[in-house]
Chain A
Amino acid sequence: MSDVAIRVENLSKQYRIGQREPYKTLRDTLAEAFMAPLHAFRSNGRTASEMIWALRDVSFEVKHGEAVGIIGRNGAGKSTLLKILSRITEPTTGRAVIHGRVGSLLEVGTGFNPELTGRENIYLNGAILGMKRREIERKFDEIVAFAELEKFIDTPVKRYSSGMYMRLAFSVAAHLEPEILVVDEVLAVGDVEFQKKCLGKMGNVAEEGRTVLFVSHNMPAITALCSRAILLKQGAVAADGYSHDVVGEYLVGGRETMAEKVWPATDMPGNEIVRLRAARVVTEEGEAREAFDIRRPIGVEIEYEVLQAGHVLVPNVHFYTEAGVLAFVAGDQDPDWKRHPRAIGCFVSTVWVPGNFLSEGQMFVDVAVTTVKPKRVHFHERSALAFHVVDSLAGDTARGDFTGHYPGVVRPLLKWTTRCYQNNDKETA
């Protein structure tokens, strides 16, 4: 047997856009059936535009013991790929050959039942994830200890805090021992301490020589855990190689992200309440631009359409550095709109980052609109925009006359004061 764990050959998956609707009623199908000849008569080839390829001719090989990160923007096909490899959905064409037992973790706590106790859920969830009963019994104490829930193990999980719930869920999953582990963005659970513990556990899995496929938006985690990464772009493999190189290419070379982005009417992110029409990075003059002088203010405009009146909406932006570090988040605090329900209509909200605040280099901006009470994220477009900040060497910025590498996520020009409390000149005079 060769040392190949996973071989993917020309894998493609097509979705009908209509299938993304939650479900159809029989009436709709009947109506479609009756209308179909009419449609065919009126416009031919209309059906082709209703199909999208979530994955297109993806091929790669993963060797036993390799840890591979899969990265890409939302909708690039990462989750579809994992779903096919976990046998949740079938490919439309192409094939994949897998040598070894696959354990997939697309979500933590799948099948958790709030009425059951922690103990009962460990057994249930373990069985759902493919563990044998004896295996669960053997690891039971370890799972409970890892989750730090010894005292609450016989309490129904509906009484757990969300942190406790996630800890228990991750802990069960972390004790899976298949030859091949397929993991979707699941590490973002619990508090910082627990996240570190999870990352450590994932690192162990990779070191033990098991094969890992790992999807994440957390670039530092990808580079830390995986030696190799595959970048997916619009359903196809755009890059495949050392994780540092591929992550760099994703962050910097992502030419899809620019200073301005306008979504087509058929594909606007959002929901029945609000939809994102466009976003841009602008100068004080309102001009979309990709490069900014560090001394000038930078505006981020979010243009959105409110479809349902009566909701309090908070537009917000998230600024990331090239390395994927979240620099800061800013939500709309304008007293004119804060806590005021919106009417139906189109809005443009602009947030201003002052000049002499951000550091030099590339920044990525997520744009989102959220309702705080009850919490609901209407849309959140990751890395929707990107721009460069260029420092000046004129001596009037935070770096002053220093021309070398000047580190830091922000580079604010702060006020300094100095006072002299002992003047030696006077004494000698």
Chain B
Amino acid sequence: MTIQQHAGELPTLVIEPSKGWVPIRLREIWEYRELLYFLVWRDVKVRYKQTVLGAAWAIIQPFFTMVVFSIFFGRLAKMPSDGIPYPIFTYCALLPWQLFAYSLNQSSNSLVANQGLITKVYFPRLIVPASSVLAGLVDFAIAFVILIGMMLFYGIRPTLAILALPLFVLVAIATALGVGLWLSALNVQYRDVAYTIPFLTQFWLFATPIAYPTSIVPAALRPLYGLNPMAGVVEGFRWALLGTANLSWPLLGVSVSVVALLLVGGLFYFRRMEKSYADVV
């Protein structure tokens, strides 16, 4: 399908079967940015409708996970935390983790959940998983308030490194979107994907330094450990907010490269499969 538009003329649309890999057409997504906005807005609005606690849920989940981790890993298992109080050490990692896990889950199920839209209206399908990922940011922002409170409580002063924080948020989102693109496209064909996601996130949680510091991983293995992009994100968060020792640049470098690969590959795979969504979903 191609669109040509010349000034003063009606746009001309050619509908033809596509073959193989198709371009991503980011410009078209830009044209549909209002739809993207409305879908994010819908997800945010609807999320805590008809709950008693409402948006407090965005805080309750990471907060109680932190409490449980602090008791079992911090207190009982005496897990080292690089000299930082264990609760804030783990909460600081749980924040990007929750953002990632929620966004990944939502975006992976997004095409199936929005079946009604996909079979009845045209729009660039990339908008669907992208909007699910972006909706996760609102919860993240709410839960972030608690972190600020904890930093005041523990008297931790952020350094200039905090300016790098948006970058790490971006990497977390890009990871969620990258994996989400693959999984959402696969989920259209194979509903098995929906069942693997909880398992996958649980496994991934333990492969990420949330309950423990990266320092317990042997130094030689650390770049390899960076193959998990969330390890880089968590490291970055601690470095930017809590001023932990130096950031492991090789680890971060590997993480960012992996994210870039996942994302670009995911975009192309998603676009390639796009033509079958309405027929199969």
Q: How far is the CB of B187 from chain A (nearest CB, A)?
A: 9
Q: List, sorted by A's number, 18 A–B pairs whose CB atoms are closer than 8 Å.
A: A15-B279, A19-B280, A23-B281, A24-B189, A26-B190, A87-B122, A88-B121, A90-B18, A99-B11, A100-B10, A100-B11, A102-B13, A111-B116, A115-B46, A115-B49, A128-B35, A128-B121, A129-B121
Are A113 and B46 touching (Cβ within 8 A)?
A: yes
- How near does chain B come to A118, taking the closest CB pair, in angstroms? 14
Q: Which residues of B contact A133 (CB under 8 A)?
A: 34
Contact present for B191 and A101 (CB under 8 Å): no
Kindly state the separation between the CA atoms of A321 and B9 in the bound complex, as whole angstroms.
46
Once A19-B279, A24-B189, A26-B190 are accepted as A-B contacts, the answer to whether A124 and B42 lie under 8 Å apart by CB is yes
Q: Is B83 in contact with chain A by the CB < 8 A criterion?
A: no
Q: Are B192 and A26 in contact (CB under 8 A)?
A: yes
1/0 contact string of A103-127 vs chain B (CB within 8 Å): 0101100110101100010011001
Q: Is B120 an interface residue (CB 8 A)?
A: yes
CB < 8 Å neighbour of B121 from A93, A101, A110: A110
With contacts A104-B121, A116-B45, A128-B123 taken as known, whether A23 is within 8 angstroms of B17 at the C-beta atoms is: no
Encoded as 1 (CB less than 8 Å from any B CB) or 0, chain A from 61 to 103 comes to 0000000000000000000000111111111111111111110
Q: Which of B13, B17, B192, B281 contacts A90 (CB 8 A)?
A: B17
A125: min CB distance to chain B, Å: 9
Interface size on A, residues (CB 8 A): 47
Does B249 sit at the interface, judged by CB under 8 A? no
| Interface check A25, CB cutoff 8 A | yes
Partner of A97, one of B12, B280, B281: B12
- Which A residues are within 8 Å of any B CB, using their own CB? 1, 15, 19, 23-27, 29, 83-102, 104, 106-107, 110-111, 113, 115-116, 120, 123-124, 127-130, 132-133, 179
Closest to B47 in A: A115
| B119 beta carbon closer than 8 Å to chain A | yes
Which residues of chain B are within 8 angstroms of A110 by Cβ–Cβ distance?
Answer: 116-117, 120-121
Task: Name the residue of chain B whose CB is nearest to the CB of A20.
Answer: B279
With a CB–CB cut-off of 8 A, which chain B residues contact A95? Answer: 14-16
Closest B residue by C-beta to A88: B278
Q: 1/0 contact trace for B182-200 toward A, CB 8 Å?
A: 0000001111100000000
Bound CA span A110–B117, Å: 6
| Pair B121/A90 contact, Cβ less than 8 Å | no
Chain B interface (Cβ < 8 Å from any Cβ of A): 1, 9-18, 34-35, 37-38, 41-42, 45-46, 49-50, 116-123, 188-192, 275, 278-281
Q: Which residues of B contact A120 (CB under 8 A)?
A: 42, 45
Q: Which residues of A lie under 8 Å from residue B280 when comparing CB positions?
A: 19, 23
Say whether, besides A15-B279, A26-B190, A179-B10, A90 and B120 are in contact (CB < 8 Å): no
Inter-chain contact B190/A24, CB cutoff 8 Å: yes
Q: In the bound complex, what is the Cα–Cα distance between A9 and B63 (angstroms)? A: 61
CB–CB B191/A23 < 8 A: yes
Q: Which residues of A contact B278 (CB under 8 A)?
A: 83, 88-89
CB distance from A289 to the nearest CB of B (A): 42
Given A110-B120, A123-B38: A91 touches B45 (CB 8 Å cut-off): no
- In the complex the two chains form, is A25's CB within 8 Å of B190's CB? yes
Query: How far, in angstroms, from A120 to B12 measured CA to CA in the complex?
Result: 32
Cβ-closest 5 pairs across A and B: A87-B122, A127-B38, A96-B15, A100-B10, A115-B49
**Min CB gap A74→B, angstroms:** 17
Decide if A98 touches B15 in the complex (CB within 8 Å). Answer: yes
Shortest Cβ distance from B34 into chain A, in angstroms?
A: 5
Contact of B38 among A1, A84, A88, A124 (CB under 8 A): A124
Q: Choose from A91, A101, A104 the contact partner of B16 (Cβ within 8 Å).
A: A91
| Contacting pair B119 A98 (CB below 8 A) | no
- Nearest CB in chain A: distance from B28 CB, A: 11
Whole-angstrom CA separation of A129 from B121 in the bound complex: 7
Select which of A24, A87, A100, A123 is within 8 A of B15 by beta carbon: A87
Contacts of A106 in B (CB 8 A): 120-121
Q: A89-B279, A96-B14 are in contact. List 4 more A-B contacts (CB 8 A).
A: A23-B280, A88-B120, A98-B12, A127-B35
CB-defined contacts of A83 to chain B, threshold 8 Å: 278
Q: Taking CB as reference atom, which chain B residue is nearest A100?
A: B10
Q: Shortest beta-carbon distance, A66 to chain B, in Å?
A: 15
Which residue of A has the minimal Cβ distance to B11?
A: A101
A128 and B37 alpha carbons, distance in the complex (Å) = 11
User: Is the pair B38, A87 in contact by a Cβ cutoff of 8 Å?
Assistant: no
Contacts of B35 in A (CB 8 A): 127-128
Nearest-neighbour CB distance to chain B for A326, whole angstroms, equals 27
User: In the complex, how many angstroms separate the beta carbon of A420 from the nearest chain B beta carbon?
Assistant: 67
| Residue contact B12 to A86, C-beta cutoff 8 Å | no
Q: Tell whether, in the assembled complex, residue A116 and residue B122 are in contact, meaning their CB atoms are under 8 Å apart.
A: no
Q: Measured between alpha carbons, how far is A93 from B38 in the docked complex, in Å?
A: 35
Task: Report whether A101 and B122 are in contact in the complex, using a CB–CB cutoff of 8 Å.
Answer: no
| A60 CB → nearest B CB, Å | 14
Residues of A within 8 A of B190 (CB): 23-26, 29
Q: Is the CB of B38 within 8 A of A90?
A: no
Which among B119, B122, B123 has the greatest number of chain A C-beta atoms within 10 A? B122
Contacts of B13 in A (CB 8 A): 87, 97-99, 102
Cα A255 to Cα B164 with chains together (Å): 73
> In the assembled complex, how far is the CB of residue A224 from the closest CB belonging to chain B, in whole angstroms?
26
The interface residues of chain A lying within 8 Å CB-to-CB of B10 are 1, 99-101, 179
Inter-chain CA distance A113–B41, complex, in Å, is 12
Which B residues lie within 8 Å of A23 (CB)?
Answer: 188-191, 280-281
| Contact A111 to B11, CB < 8 A, known contacts A93-B17, A124-B42 | no
Contact A25 B15 (CB under 8 A): no
